Structure 1
Amino acid sequence: MKKMTVSALALAAVGVTSGAMADGHATELTIAIVNNGHMINMQTVAEAYTAETGVALNWVSLEEGVLREQVTSDTATGGGEYDIINIGMQEAPIWGAAGWIEALEFGAEYDIDDMLPAIRNGLSHEGTLYAAPFYGESSMVMYRKDLTDAAGVTISDNDSWDNIKAAAAAIHNPDEVYGVCLRGKPGWGDNMAFITTMVNSFGGAWFDADFRPQLDSDAWKAAIEFYVDLLGTYGPPGSEGNSFNEILALYNEGKCGMWIDATIAASFLEVDGVAYAQSPNAGNPVGANWLWAWAMAIPAGSPNAEAAADFIEWATSKDYIQAVANHPEFGWGSVPTGTRASTYAYDEFKAVAGFADAEMAAIESAAPEATDLKPYVGVQFAAIPEFPQVGSAVAQEMAAALSGAKTVEEALADAQSAADAIMSEAGYY
C-alpha cells in the first residue's frame, strides 16, 4: 500500500491555508477528542496536515464522560481552553441555538449533500450545521456466529429479547466466553445509551407530553429487570464498570459471545466469525437502535476560528477518508464510517467492511423524531438542555441496580425522584 501524502492541491480544495498568524507566529490548535479508535487514528493521519500547512495540533484525548464534563464547562463559560471540541447530536443543535458554538460553512468541494441526512440533521439547528461529523453510528448486534452455530441457536434481525437471552444462555461458558457483553458504566452516553434503546423497545420513554419523567412506568420496570437479569446472569462480572472501550477489549480477547452496541465497533473487531443483526426489541422496534455522531465544533469566540474551520473541513472531508484508506498503518478497513454516502460506494471499502450493509440499515432505520410515545427529539437521549443532568443521575441508579447495591424498584424510584427534581427546578411543570 502506498504511503499517504496530503497534497497541497487536496488541502487547497477544502480551503486550507497557511498556518502562519498575522503576527508571524505559527497557528496552534488545541483539540479535545474522545479517546475512541477513529479519533486516536486521526492524530497520526493529521501529521501530514501539519507538515503541509504548518498548523500545530495539540491533542487532548479524554474518556467519554470526562470529555463531556470538561468541554461543557469550558464552552458554557467561554473558557477558551479548546479551539475544536468533540460533541455529538445531543449538544450540537442546543449549543448552536444558544450561541455557544460557531455555525459551519464549507466550500462546494466539501459536498455537504454527500453527508447522510440523518447525521446532518442531527447536528444542525434550523438548517444550519453547527458540528461536522467525524464518524456516525447506530447500534446493532455483533455476535460470534461460530459460537451460535456450535450451540445450535440463531440470531435474527430485530429479534426478540427473549431469543437474545436464550442465545446468550446457550453460548455462555464463563471459563472461556460470556454470553453477552453490554454497557454498565454510569453515564448518559455510556450505560444509558444502551439502556434507553432497550426501554424504547419495551414501549417506554424518558418523559411524557408534559416532560414529566416516566422512570416509574411499567415499561421501564420491565426493561431494567430484563437488563439486570440478562447481564447479571450471562455477562462478565463487574459489568457496572464497562462501557465501549472496556467491552471492545473484552471482545477482542475472545471473552464476549455477543455485544449490542455502536455500529462503529465493527471497524475494530479483531476476532473471527463475527456476524451482525439489527437491534432486538420487545415488541416496539421504533427506537430500538440509537443514532449518534461524534462531531467537531468550534467554541464561540475562538481566536483561531478560521484555522479551526479549515482543519474541520479537511478532517471530515472525502479527502480525509482517502487519506486513512491510503495510510500504511490503517487502510480501508479503518476509515471512519456513518457520515458520507460516498464511503459506502467504494469497492475497496465494501470488500473489507462486512458490517457495511448492517450499519447503513441501522442508521437509516433510527427514529430520532418526536412521536406520540415521546415528545422529544433523540433516540437514546432527549435533545433538551437538562438531559445530561437527568441522564447522569439516572445512570448512577441503573449502575447501582446492576451491581446489586439497590433493587431495581429502589433504583427506579430514586431515579424518578432525581429526574423529577431536575425537571421541576427547570420549570417544565
Structure 2
Amino acid sequence: MRTPSRRRPRAALATAAAGTLLAPLLTGCWAGAGGTGSGDSINVLMVNNPQMTELRKLTAAHFTRETGIKVNFTVLPENDVRDKISQDFANQAGQYDVATLSNYEIPIYARNGWLHEMNGYVAKDPSYDEQDVLASMRQSLTGDDGRLYGQPFYGESSFLMYRKDVFAAKGLTMPAHPTWRQVAGLAAEADGARPGMKGVCLRGLPGWGEVMAPLTTVVNTFGGTWFDKDWKARLDSPEFTKATKFYVDLVREHGESGAAQSGFAECLNNMTQGKVAMWYDATSAAGLLEAAGSPVRGKIGYAPAPVERTRSSGWLYTWAWGIQKASRNPGKAWKFVSWASGKGYERLVGDTSGWSDVPAGKRASTYENAAYRKAAASFQDMTRQAIENARPDDPGVQPRPVPGIQFVGIPEFTDLGTKVSQEISAAIAGRQSVGSALRKSQALAEKISEEYEGR
C-alpha cells in the first residue's frame, strides 16, 4: 500500500473520519432499530439488495432454528443504510450488532475502533475455513493492524452484460476485450433494436456508491484520477473531463429513460424487462439475471469491463458483515456472520433457490463446486477473473496516494463523492454542462487536497 508523502497522522484521520461519518447526525433525526438485541436475539442492519432479502427469508427457518438466536433485520436502500450505519457505529450506540459494510468502510471503521476484530473468532471456528475466502477479499477487509474486521457476504468486480439474441438479430459482435469506444458504437447500433429498447444502461443516481462507482472506473481507464500522488485534485484535468463527458453523453444519447435516477436496482429491472441491450455494472448482477424465472435467463452474454488506456478496469467490492464494537452480543453476532458467509449457507441457497443465486465472489470452493459451475457457466469464470485481476493499488495510469478503484480510500470520500455525484447526476439530467459540474467538483476536491497537503 502506498502512503502519501505528507499523509496526516492516524489520530488526525480518526478525527476526520468521525467528523465526516457523524455529519448525518447534525442534519437529521436519529431513529433506532426499535430495541436493542436481547440475550437471545441480535439486530442486523443491511442493504436491500436481492441477495440480502433472500438471506432474510431463510434466516428464521434455518439459522434461528439451529441456534435459537432470533435476528431482527432492518433493511434499507444503499444510500440510506450507509447513513444509518455511520450514525450508529460512529456513536457506538450499539443499536445494531451486525451491519453490511463494504471494503471501503471496514478499514476506516477498524482504524477508529468501531469494529470487533474477527481473528479470534476465526481461530476458534475452523469449520468456517477462512483460507477458502479469496485472498483479494481477505486483504480488502483487513485493518492497518493486519487483523480481519469483516467477512464477505458476496464479492464482485464489474463487467459488461449484453443481450446475445439482440446482438445476433442486429448482426453485432461483442469484442472479447471491448473498449469504451466500441461499446458506444454498439449502443448506438442496438438503440431501438426492439420497441422501447435503449442501447445501454449506466448508473446516474446520485451517491458515491451509485453513479460514481462505474464512472470512476471509466475515469481510471481514460487516464484520469481524483487525486495525484501528491494529493493535487485532478477533477478538472483533460482526462477526467474527457471520461466524464463520454459517460454523460453515452447515457444521454443511448441510455435508459430516467437515467439520472437510475442505480443498480433500476438498471437490473431495465435489463430483466428487456428495456436495454447492454448494462455495465457489478458482476453480482449475473446471478440475478440467470436466476430461475428470470425472463432473460440464457439470453445474456458477458464481457470484461471496457477499457481505454489500461489493461483492465473492473472494480473490487464486497458487501461484508461487520460486528459493532459496542455490540452486547458479539459471540452471537459472530455465529450469524459465520453462518451467513459460510459454505453451508451457499449450499442452502443452491438447494433452495438454485446455484446461480448463490452469493458468490468470495470463496474459492464455490468456483470448484460442480453444481455452481454448471448453473453459472455463462459468467462464473469471467467473474472470478475480474475479481482476481482488480488492482486497488494501481487502477489507472499514474501513482495514487491511497488504494481504491471505484472510490478513494479516505474518510472524506463519502461526503466528497456524494456531492460530486449530485453534480454529475445533474449533468446527466441536462440541468448543467459537464464542464460546470466538474468545476464545482474540483473546488470541493481542492478542499481535501489542502487538508492532506497540510496547507
Fold match (TM-score > 0.5):
yes
Question: Is the Cα contact below 8 Å between 2:229 and 2:401 reproduced in 1?
Answer: yes
> 2-side partners of 1:229 and 1:158: how far apart?
22
> 1-side partners of 2:176 and 2:432: how far apart?
33
Deviation at 1:340, TM superposition (A): 0.0
2:275 aligned with 1:275, yes or no? no
Corresponding residue to 1:172 among 191, 207, 210: 191
Q: Which amino acid aligns with 1:357?
A: D
2:118 aligned with 1:99, yes or no? no
Corresponding residue to 1:122 among 140, 149, 161: 140
Deviation at 1:424, TM superposition (A): 2.8
Deviation at 1:40, TM superposition (A): 0.6
Aligned position for 2:20: none
Question: Is the Cα contact below 8 Å between 2:93 and 2:326 reproduced in 1?
Answer: no
Corresponding residue to 1:364 among 378, 384, 388: 388
Corresponding residue to 1:252 among 264, 272, 281: 272
Aligned position for 1:13: none
* Structure 2 gaps, min length 5: 1-37
Aligned position for 1:12: none
Aligned position for 2:316: 291
> 1-side partners of 2:354 and 2:39: how far apart?
31
Corresponding residue to 1:375 among 401, 413, 416: 401
Secondary structure in 1 aligned to 2:44? Answer: strand
Aligned position for 1:331: 354
Q: Which amino acid aligns with 1:63?
A: P
Question: Is the Cα contact below 8 Å between 1:211 and 1:428 reproduced in 2?
Answer: no
Corresponding residue to 1:36 among 41, 49, 68: 49
Q: Cα deviation per residue 1:176-218 (whole Å; 9 max; x = unaligned)?
A: 3110001000111000000000000101111111222210111
Does 129-138 or 419-428 show the bigger shift?
Answer: 419-428
> 2-side partners of 1:81 and 1:326: how far apart?
33
Q: Which amino acid aligns with 2:366?
A: T
> 2-side partners of 1:216 and 1:60: how far apart?
40
Change (3 A) 1:55 1:375: same
Q: Cα deviation per residue 1:130-151 (whole Å; 9 max; x = unaligned)?
A: 0100000000000001111222
Question: Is the Cα contact below 8 Å between 1:157 and 1:279 reproduced in 2?
Answer: no
> 1-side partners of 2:328 and 2:232: how far apart?
41
> 1-side partners of 2:421 and 2:72: how far apart?
32
Secondary structure in 1 aligned to 2:324? Answer: coil
Question: Is the Cα contact below 8 Å between 1:210 and 1:428 reproduced in 2?
Answer: no
Corresponding residue to 2:69 among 43, 55, 66: 55
Corresponding residue to 2:439 among 396, 406, 413: 413
Question: Is the Cα contact below 8 Å between 2:39 and 2:329 reproduced in 1?
Answer: no
Question: Is the Cα contact below 8 Å between 1:119 and 1:133 reproduced in 2?
Answer: yes
> 2-side partners of 1:428 and 1:379: how far apart?
25
2:283 aligned with 1:263, yes or no? yes
Aligned position for 1:424: 450
- CA RMSD, 1 decimal: 1.4
Question: Is the Cα contact below 8 Å between 1:104 and 1:129 reproduced in 2?
Answer: yes
Q: Which amino acid aligns with 2:175?
A: S
Aligned position for 1:396: 422
Q: Cα deviation per residue 1:404-424 (whole Å; 9 max; x = unaligned)?
A: 111010000000111222443
Aligned position for 2:15: none
Question: Is the Cα contact below 8 Å between 1:30 and 1:83 reproduced in 2?
Answer: yes
Secondary structure in 1 aligned to 2:436? Answer: helix
Deviation at 1:127, TM superposition (A): 2.4
Question: Is the Cα contact below 8 Å between 2:230 and 2:453 reproduced in 1?
Answer: no
Q: Which amino acid aligns with 1:400?
A: A
Corresponding residue to 1:112 among 130, 137, 144: 130
Corresponding residue to 2:96 among 72, 79, 82: 82
Does 63-72 or 47-56 show the bigger shift?
Answer: 47-56
Aligned position for 2:161: 142
> 2-side partners of 1:428 and 1:151: how far apart?
56
Secondary structure in 1 aligned to 2:334? Answer: helix
Aligned position for 1:3: none
Secondary structure in 1 aligned to 2:284? Answer: helix
Corresponding residue to 1:313 among 322, 327, 338: 338
2:152 aligned with 1:133, yes or no? yes
Question: Is the Cα contact below 8 Å between 1:89 and 1:123 reproduced in 2?
Answer: yes
Question: Is the Cα contact below 8 Å between 1:199 and 1:220 reproduced in 2?
Answer: yes
Aligned position for 1:344: 367
2:254 aligned with 1:240, yes or no? no
Equivalenced residues, count: 402
Aligned position for 1:9: none
Percent of counterpart pairs with the same letter?
38
Question: Is the Cα contact below 8 Å between 2:202 and 2:255 reproduced in 1?
Answer: yes
Secondary structure in 1 aligned to 2:301? Answer: strand
Deviation at 1:426, TM superposition (A): 6.3
Deviation at 1:86, TM superposition (A): 0.5
Question: Is the Cα contact below 8 Å between 1:370 and 1:376 reproduced in 2?
Answer: no
Corresponding residue to 1:181 among 201, 205, 209: 201
> 2-side partners of 1:350 and 1:163: how far apart?
30
2:90 aligned with 1:71, yes or no? no
* Structure 1 gaps, min length 5: 1-24
Secondary structure in 1 aligned to 2:46? Answer: strand
Secondary structure in 2 aligned to 1:280? Answer: coil
Give me the TM-score of the superposition, normalised by structure 2. 0.86
Does 111-120 or 318-327 show the bigger shift?
Answer: 318-327
> 2-side partners of 1:358 and 1:260: how far apart?
14
Aligned position for 2:17: none
Aligned position for 2:30: none
Question: Is the Cα contact below 8 Å between 1:26 and 1:54 reproduced in 2?
Answer: no
Secondary structure in 1 aligned to 2:204? Answer: coil
> 2-side partners of 1:51 and 1:364: how far apart?
36
Q: Which amino acid aligns with 1:37?
A: P
Secondary structure in 2 aligned to 1:79? Answer: coil
